[in-house]
Amino acid sequence: MRLGVIANTGKPMIVEVLKSFLKWLDQQSIKYLVDTDLLDFLNDSRLPHLPANKLGFDVDFVLSFGGDGTFLQTARSISPSQTPIIGVSLGGFGYLAEVSPDKLRDRILDLQQGKFHLQERMMLSAKVEGEETDYIALNDIVIDKGGFARTIKIETFVDGEFINLFNSDGLILSTPTGSTGYSLSAGGPILEPNCGSIVIVPICPHTLANRPLVVSHNRQINVITTSEFGTFMLAVDGQQVLELQSGQKVGISKAPFVTKIVCFEVSSFYNALRTKLRWRNQMDM
């Protein structure tokens, strides 16, 4: 078994956690590769390494140290390899990173013994007119008005059929995983993670009749955005941000990849919702 290590270097405790963990892996004779970007951060050029976008092809599992944001970045970086990810939580609200640093060594031993299960999460692909790059997201693709105070107009088509002209601050196209993120904040529904659906949520729509829409995962969604200022923004998982030209078409569909999440705890999605969203217990009523 060989592990890959990707980490958010902005976390205060990360140096101590990583150095201790890598030392323990050496003691256990467990092979590993670290993200090349960590070499200078850990001040150790001797560590075996590969760039994050190649790491997944040479390891059996990838550990993502940080929070949900780090997990999303890891998922996009290694998506072509389809390597399972273990989320190591270094604090925060997180839905995706379930392993705490104090339990990490036990979980690696569980991993060796096959005491885990995998969840597969759907991803989205965004294709921008005139560009060759496919932008991959685990949470959402967001069309946004950018820094201007005026709304934008977003023509929306599903499988070539015109659906609506949204006059709003933007549009969120979310996976089931992303339904508990920005989409939820904008009034979208919560979906079970294994639902085969895409959520379309207008952001602050000018017309109250504009409501969130859930479509099947096999639909092709096209949007054409008009901004009187000439540009609008496209955000991928809230981390990759592009400025696009007014009138430029963006196609969104299910990605050819999934994110495989390593899970150790047997916990229901609804229990997670009650915990994370602090829903009331029956006994509190």
- CATH code where residue 234 lies: 2.60.200.30
* 65 neighbors 11 (Cβ within 8 angstroms): yes
Q: Are residues 25 and 87 in the same domain?
A: yes
For the chain, percent of residues with pLDDT exceeding 70: 96
Angstrom distance (rounded) from CA 122 to CA 105 = 29
* 141 neighbors 113 (Cβ within 8 angstroms): no
Model pLDDT, residue 120: 96
Provide the edge-to-edge strand list for the sheet that holds 213-216: 213-216, 197-203, 170-174, 140-144, 231-236, 240-245
Model pLDDT, residue 281: 67
Model pLDDT, residue 278: 76
The angle formed by the CA atoms of residues 10, 134 and 77, to the nearest 5 degrees, is 30
Q: Are residues 133 and 50 in the same domain?
A: no
List residues bridging with 155 in a β-sheet: 165, 224
Question: Which alpha helices (DSSP H) does the chain contain, by range?
Answer: 14-27, 38-42, 52-55, 68-78, 104-112, 182-185, 269-276
Q: Are residues 245 and 134 in the same domain?
A: yes
Domain that holds residue 220: 123-256
- With a cut of 60, say whether residue 178 has pLDDT above it: yes
The mean pLDDT value for 181-206 works out to: 95
Q: Are residues 215 and 142 in the same domain?
A: yes
List residues bridging with 143 in a β-sheet: 171, 234
What does pTM read for this prediction?
0.92
The mean pLDDT value for 256-275 works out to: 84
Q: Are residues 192 and 275 in the same domain?
A: no
Model pLDDT, residue 282: 60
Q: How confident is the model at residue 268 (pLDDT cuts 50, 70, 90)?
A: confident
The total domain count for the chain is 2
Q: Are residues 250 and 130 in the same domain?
A: yes
The angle formed by the CA atoms of residues 105, 76 and 90, to the nearest 5 degrees, is 35
- With a cut of 90, say whether residue 111 has pLDDT above it: yes
In this predicted model, what pLDDT tens digit does every residue of 125-164 receive, in sequence order?
999 999 999 999 999 999 999 888 899 999 999 999 999 9
Model pLDDT, residue 175: 98
Question: Which alpha helices (DSSP H) does 79-190 contain, by range?
Answer: 104-112, 182-185
Mean residue pLDDT across the chain: 93
68 is catalytic: yes
Q: Are residues 98 and 127 in the same domain?
A: no
CATH number of the domain residue 39 falls in: 3.40.50.10330
3-state secondary structure of 93: coil
Model pLDDT, residue 284: 60
The mean pLDDT value for 189-218 works out to: 94
Angstrom distance (rounded) from CA 267 to CA 249 = 41
* 95 neighbors 75 (Cβ within 8 angstroms): no
Model pLDDT, residue 8: 94
Q: Are residues 140 and 75 in the same domain?
A: no
- With a cut of 80, say whether residue 267 has pLDDT above it: no
Q: Are residues 96 and 139 in the same domain?
A: no
Q: Exactly one of 68, 140, 144, 237 is catalytic; which is it?
A: 68
Q: Are residues 80 and 136 in the same domain?
A: no
Q: Are residues 13 and 97 in the same domain?
A: yes
Q: Are residues 102 and 164 in the same domain?
A: no
